[in-house]
Chains A and B, each alone.
Chain A
């Protein structure tokens, strides 16, 4: 099997998961697609080396996180290689609390959001997050603390509003097939 076939297989298997990750990192479908596309282009260019190391997924996820917090996004964008469907993606989260949290995440500085996504979506330790973002563990803790503080101000009492009933925030089994489960580790959508 040649490199391009292996790359095609990787994209076929993992592109949707990367898009999900890009979506929670960036908060909107266009940026998610943009981030995923840019990352896959870079991955393709680095493929022979990355593939030898047997971990293209880790390379891609690290690249996405770093791209997201870096200046890349502000450089001129390339046209997407595919068309996105129109429509709102925010109005279908199951609970009011989740919607509020999602909105509040959108107001966080990029690095704070990235740290929270890596910690609570990717389920990485602070040490792993520090490695992914190329910063110190103290910086990770500081971003996490500031980010959580802001979320707490924006959604003052999530426990009091959404822990019971069918509209509750995602007990295991009610989530989609790829959604992380708060009762387990390894929430990354694989």
Chain B
């Protein structure tokens, strides 16, 4: 019977295939158009994601110590709302634009020149301390060749290290802790994931600068890490495909964190699953696991809700009506409606969200859900309608940095009081 089943299966699949839709004659041209559009869009997105936000050091918060109360602060002032990038009809009222971020949170904001002395481009990556930024200088698009410190008080720039990577190897995910700056380099192999997996190495230098030292491991790490944290003499990292590991900062054995084989670092020691590219539209980080004490938590998700992204204390998502966005505690309490739409990356620090303004004038404002205050980021579409988007939840929530004209705006979310 087994053979018959297999024969029937072959035949059924063959017959079924003949019922597939046919390709239109213009498919190639349409695909090429879409591919080119996506390339431009991807470059803009990469730029935005890279410029946007990178976490500061480890041990930022212990779960539950935050006092974000979703119900305590009503939605903020801006009244009109639209899908990002969707122009408003011209007869709609112009959006009410909040005050600029520098006026709303002057204690947390700096503006620095968008080029290093000598005209070199850079990307802010992390806070080294309360007033020092880590900058990555680029040789070409996304290709780092040096890292610098930038003192926001004295405006002094200092080179910390040269980064020499072969063709096809890219540095990323800088993190600071235990007096070190740590990052990964991913070897993209031949760029074809079908034939050669990417491999990852970790590097460190003292925060004062020095020659990069490899954190040698007992095995080759396949795939890239999505988050790195320095904690207690170790580097903890989670893989893009899931799984949390530690390795001593001086190098050694790569140890899996027990019980976290599907997890991603959310905010150490909290790790969560499913990750951002979860199957079946599952709520991101619905399950939390404390890598240090084994505590677990499962967030409440209601039927019909979509795009649910949870953090360590709160969740955001789209209500079953498909239009409105909710914000609430993980246990499902204190829910309220908020403006904007959930980003794939969720909120920064469980409380910061970015909302697109309708056009005109377009742009984005930063919304602090803990206080209800909001500030215009100062971004506006260019003549072609393109605009960098700030994604506050792109990492775990301290540094927001984005270029406006010839300056970089630097926001330290940790300085914004609840």
**Given A15-B23, A33-B21, A84-B21, A102 and B1 touching (CB < 8 A)?**
no
Give B6-35 as 1s and 0s: 1 = Cβ < 8 Å from A's Cβ atoms: 111111111111111111111111111111
Residues of B within 8 Å of A20, CB to CB, are 17-18, 20
Question: What residues on B are CB-neighbors of A101 within 8 Å?
Answer: 8-9, 12
Asked if A170 contacts B279 (CB within 8 A), the reply is no
For residue B384, CB closer than 8 A to chain A, the reply is no
Interface pair A66/B194, CB less than 8 Å apart = yes
Across the interface, which residues of B come within 8 angstroms of A45, CB to CB? 35, 38-39
- Indicate whether A178 sits within 8 Å of B17 (C-beta atoms), given known contacts A16-B23, A81-B34: yes
Contact with B along A12-46 (1 / 0, CB 8 A): 10011001111110000100110011001100111
- Residues 132-157 of A, flagged 1 when their CB comes within 8 A of B and 0 if not, give 00100000000000001001100101
Q: Which chain A positions have C-beta within 8 A of B21? A: 19, 23, 29, 32-33, 84-85
User: Which residues on the B side are within 8 Å of A24 (C-beta)?
Assistant: 13, 16-17, 20
B20-A169 in contact (CB<8A): no
Q: How far is the CB of B159 from the nearest CB of chain A, in Å? A: 35
- Pick the contact of B16 from A23, A162, A163 — CB < 8 Å? A23
The interface residues of chain B lying within 8 Å CB-to-CB of A36 are 23
Residue of A11, A120, A182 near B23 (CB, 8 A) is: A11
In the assembled complex, B190 has its CB within 8 A of some CB on chain A:
yes
A59: chain B residues within 8 A (beta carbon):
192, 194
Give chain A's interface residue range (CB within 8 Å of chain B).
35 or more
A84 to B33, CA, bound (A): 19
Q: Is the interface of B mostly helix, strand, loop or mixed?
A: helix
Asked if A89 lies at the interface with its beta carbon under 8 angstroms from chain B, I say: yes
Contacting A148 at CB < 8 Å: which of B5, B12, B23, B35?
Answer: B5
> In the complex, how many residue pairs between chain A and chain B have their CB atoms under 8 Å apart?
186
Interface residues of B in 90-138 (CB under 8 A from A): none
Interchain CA distance A148-B190 in the complex, whole Å: 36
In-complex Cβ contact of B15 among A63, A75, A179 (8 A):
A179
Asked whether, in the complex, the Cβ of A151 is within 8 Å of the Cβ of B16, the reply is: no
Q: State A47–B129 Cα separation when bound (angstroms).
A: 45
Q: Does B62 contact A (CB under 8 A)?
A: no
* Complex contact B16–A120 (CB within 8 A): no
Expressed in whole angstroms, the Cα–Cα distance for A46 and B190 within the complex equals 11
Q: Mark A58-99, 1 if CB is under 8 A from B, else 0.
A: 010011001000111011001001101100011011100110
Contact A148 B6 (CB under 8 A): yes
Q: Which residues of chain A are within 8 angstroms of B219 by Cβ–Cβ distance?
A: none
Name the CB-closest residue of B to A10: B28
- Residue pair A97, B13 in contact (C-beta under 8 Å): no
Complex interface: chain B residues within 8 A of A37 (CB): 31, 34
List the A residue with the shortest CB-CB distance to B25: A12
Report which of B1, B15, B26 forms a contact with A152, defined as CB distance below 8 A.
B1
Q: Is the CB of A102 within 8 A of B31?
A: no
In contact, A180 and B10 (Cβ under 8 angstroms) = yes
A157 touches B31 (CB 8 A): no
Instruction: Please state if B12 and A41 are interface contacts (CB–CB under 8 Å).
Output: no
Q: Which of A22, A46, A92, A175 is the one whose CB lies under 8 Å from B20? A: A22
List the B side residues contacting A152 at CB < 8 Å: 1-2, 5
Interface residue B280 (Cβ < 8 Å from any Cβ of A): yes
Q: Does B281 contact A (CB under 8 A)?
A: yes
Q: A90-B19, A170-B15 are in contact. List 12 more A-B contacts (CB 8 A).
A: A15-B28, A19-B20, A40-B28, A46-B192, A81-B27, A82-B27, A98-B8, A98-B16, A120-B10, A169-B7, A169-B12, A182-B10
Q: What residues make up the interface of A, taking CB atoms closer than 8 Å to B?
A: 4, 7-8, 11-12, 15-16, 19-24, 29, 32-33, 36-37, 40-41, 44-46, 49-50, 59, 62-63, 66, 70-72, 74-75, 78, 81-82, 84-85, 89-90, 92-94, 97-98, 101-102, 105, 116-117, 120-121, 134, 148, 151-152, 155, 157-159, 162-163, 169-170, 175-176, 178-182, 187, 189
Binding site for A on B (CB under 8 A): 1-2, 4-35, 38-39, 190-194, 197, 277-281
The 10 A-B residue pairs whose C-beta atoms are closest, nearest first, are A179-B14, A23-B20, A15-B23, A170-B11, A81-B30, A159-B4, A20-B17, A11-B28, A98-B12, A71-B277
- Sample 23 A-B pairs with CB under 8 A, ordered by A number: A7-B32, A8-B29, A24-B16, A24-B20, A29-B21, A40-B28, A59-B194, A74-B281, A75-B277, A81-B34, A85-B21, A92-B19, A97-B12, A98-B16, A148-B2, A148-B5, A151-B5, A155-B8, A159-B5, A163-B4, A170-B12, A170-B14, A180-B13
